[in-house]
Amino acid sequence: MLCFLVGTWQVLSYALRYILAALFLIVAYLSYRRVRERPFWHESKGGRLITYVSVIVLAALVFYNIEVLRGFWYTGKPITLAFPLRGGIYYIAEGGNHVLLNGHIVTNGTPYALDIEALNGLGRHSRGFFPSRVTDYVIYGATVSSPCAGEVVETMNVISDSPVNELHMASRAMNRVVLQCGNVRVLLGHLLQGSVTVQEGDWIQAGQPLGQVGNSGKSKRPHLHIQADESSGHFDPVPIVFDGVFLVRNSVVVR
């Protein structure tokens, strides 16, 4: 179950997630039928050791599964946004309120940030395995729409795409649009160079185009980064709810 929850499946195929889960259940059932008549505790020294180790491993797996499931919930008051992408199948690669679901908790200290990719009909995020061109990724060039009504308070539009699979840890610059939606600032980042269509000071409506998905800044492959925080002078992450749903890793949105 832990692999089912925290594994990322967009490289091979999202469908593989459910195929492997079904195979696991079949194998577990067949194994149970084979050993159900045998005693749980073995009398031999080696048998008892195997049982103790098995119990410890099972307890650890149960613990981590419970911990991960806690990441499916948030604390505090969320902001409700419209999903910023349309016309496709979109996959949450990073998201949730636990480090095993959302790498942003470690790298940026942003527990409610999300990374969104797109899937093709085979449940994969790209053409070919491990492509080296940004144009091979399904989401590349997708139109990003405003998730809320508000004011544009910051834009960046001149950063070129980063090479695929070359993560520049020191780079903080990326093409982005930052919106003031009530008392919350919403950032949409890694946009395509020259694609941003709004300027600072513009007042926009939800659903209005902002730009296109690229691979600018600290990004290994094309995706859309979105995060929200209270604009109170200090960084305070805000949970994001799309159409009433708190999305986590492996969530899929069809638009």
Show pLDDT as tens, one digit a residue, over the chain (255 residues).
778 888 888 988 999 999 988 998 898 888 778 777 776 566 655 666 766 777 787 788 788 788 889 999 999 999 999 999 999 999 999 999 999 999 999 877 788 999 999 999 999 999 988 898 999 999 999 999 999 999 999 999 999 999 998 876 556 689 999 999 999 999 999 999 999 999 999 999 999 999 999 999 999 999 999 999 997 656 689 999 998 999 999 999 999
**Paired strand residues for 94:** 115
pTM: 0.89
How many Å apart are CA 191 and CA 178, to the nearest integer? 12
What tokens were used for 41?
A: 């505790």
> How many angstroms from the chain centroid is the CA of residue 4?
14
The 3-state DSSP composition of the chain as helix, strand, coil percent (nearest 5) reads: 25, 25, 50
Half-sphere exposure of 69 (CA within 13 A, CB side): 8
Which residues neighbour 19 within 8 Å (Cβ) at sequence distance 6 or greater? none
> Measured over all CA atoms, what is the biggest interatomic distance in the chain, rounded to whole angstroms?
76
Q: So where are the chain's domains?
A: 79-254
CATH number belonging to domain 79-254: 2.70.70.10
